[in-house]
Amino acid sequence: MKEYISRPKYDNRFEPFIGKPVIKVLIGQRRVGKSYLLLQVQDAITQMGNPCNFIYVDKEDDAFSHIVTAADLTEYIKSKSRADVANYLLVDEIQEIEDFENSIRSFAAKPNYDIYITGSNSELLSGELATRLSGRYIEIQVYSLDFKEFVMFHDLKDDSKKLPDYLKYGGMPFLRHLDLKEDIAYEYLKNVFAGILYRDIVGRYSIRNVNFLDRLVHFVADNIGSILNAKKISDYLKSQRVNISVNVVLDYLSYLTNSQIIIPVKRMDLKGKRIFEIGEKFYFQDLGIRNALVGFRPSDMGKLLENCVFNHLISHGYTVYTGDWQQREIDFVAEKNNERTYIQATYLLTEPATVEREFGNLALIQDNYPKLVVSMDASFSNTINGIAHWNLERFLEEFE
């Protein structure tokens, strides 16, 4: 068995469902560590001490290249099954198997199968699997390493470079095997992106205009944290002599979102308590991939910090919106367990106008939920008018 570093925060997400008659679906961008989480699941089951039979299918391993259709999968599972013990079925990158849901549905109905599958496309649960198995699966979203995981994977102690390196190289787990140098790390991350682009987008959706797709990714990378809509993007591209319709922009954005390269964040009208239908923010699921594509620039630190705060929130189970309060922007409205936190993210609080904007926008919201400003400042005041300030490193280490 491969060696791996355990990611404890995922234990609480899958362990309550071990042995339960629901399909466990791990969804995440390629190379974020889903395969190793399956090994973590396998070890957790083994440690329970009950007799069991593991059936493992890895669609990124050539040894399983013969499993192409649902019928192939069914035949393979039957050949490896045992009647005298519980069968634990683990299938990695299941979207590579045509009509896989037909096979999974069949075994999910049997009493001695416990099923775990992974996929790299967020559409996985929007089609037949969701229709046919409504209420019989749980989805566990897997992200690249958060800051504490990054420090653990790279065995960093009190290294003053750990936060700058995290902002620069992101959290793809394989980077622990490489030197954290731009020419090495970014070459690997560009290859990861190319694999996602061609396997999960160009191949899956039969994309012809790859050049436009590449331009769109770079545009979003340059505008993380900005409110965007398809028309705004289309107009910009026309100014660059790229004539693309709004509908095509929408389609391509959905493909990038489904592959989990980027994650959209909807706007919430905090006064009217409704979600706006147009205008979203987009963030990269991994900062390292973003920086590998467009370069790591000190002038982008405000954007990177905001993206980093967003990634931390979603990886810790928060549902996140961007807020609008009487045309004042609230960077993040983070909700979990029926609680809410308002968060402003900014690079530095060195200018009085910045302090007034970030704290002032939060002060306008007259409710009792916590309000927090996050920045890189290490020595700024802890609170202003009851609104807390945390520096980014503290936020990444303590906010859960």
Q: What residue ranges in the chain does DSSP mark as E strands?
A: 23-27, 52-58, 86-92, 113-119, 137-141, 227-228, 262-269, 274-284, 319-325, 328-336, 339-345, 371-375, 383-384, 387-391
> Residue 185: what pLDDT?
98
CB 331 within 8 A of CB 306: yes
Q: What are the boundaries of each domain within the chain?
A: 8-141, 147-398
Phi, psi of 216 (to 5 degrees): -65, -45
Looking at residue 275, its pLDDT comes to: 87
Q: Which of 46, 20, 39 is nearest to 90 (CA)?
A: 39
Q: Is the pLDDT of residue 283 over 60?
A: yes
What's CA 174's distance to the chain center, in Å? 16
Instruction: Tell me the HSE value of 73 on the side-chain side, using a 13 A CA sphere.
Output: 27
Mean pLDDT within 358-382: 95
At 1 the pLDDT is 59
Task: Say if residue 273's pLDDT is above 80.
Answer: no
What value does the mean pLDDT of the chain take? 93
pLDDT tens sequence across 3-46: 889 999 998 899 999 999 999 999 999 999 999 999 999 999 99
Residues 261-272 have pLDDT tens digits of 999 999 999 986
What per-residue confidence (pLDDT) applies to 129? 62
128 pLDDT band, cuts 50/70/90, is low
**pLDDT attached to residue 125:** 66
Mean per-residue pLDDT, 176-180: 96
Q: What is the pLDDT of residues 325-367, one digit of tens each?
A: 888 999 999 999 999 999 999 999 999 999 999 999 999 998 9
| Residue 133: pLDDT over 90 | no
* Res 368 pLDDT > 70: yes
Rounded Cα–Cα distance for residues 199 and 204 (Å): 7
Return the number of other C-beta atoms located less than 10 Å from residue 85's C-beta: 12
Give the global pTM.
0.94
8-141 CATH fold:
Rossmann fold (3.40.50)
**Partners of 373 in the β-ladder:** 344, 389
Sheet holding 137-141, edge to edge: 52-58, 86-92, 113-119, 23-27, 137-141
- Quick check: 332 and 310 in contact, CB under 8 A? yes
Query: By three-state DSSP, how is residue 107 classified?
Result: helix
Angle (CA) 24 27 32, round 5°: 125
Question: Reduced to 3 states, what is the DSSP secondary structure of residue 244?
Answer: coil
* pLDDT for the residue 81: 98
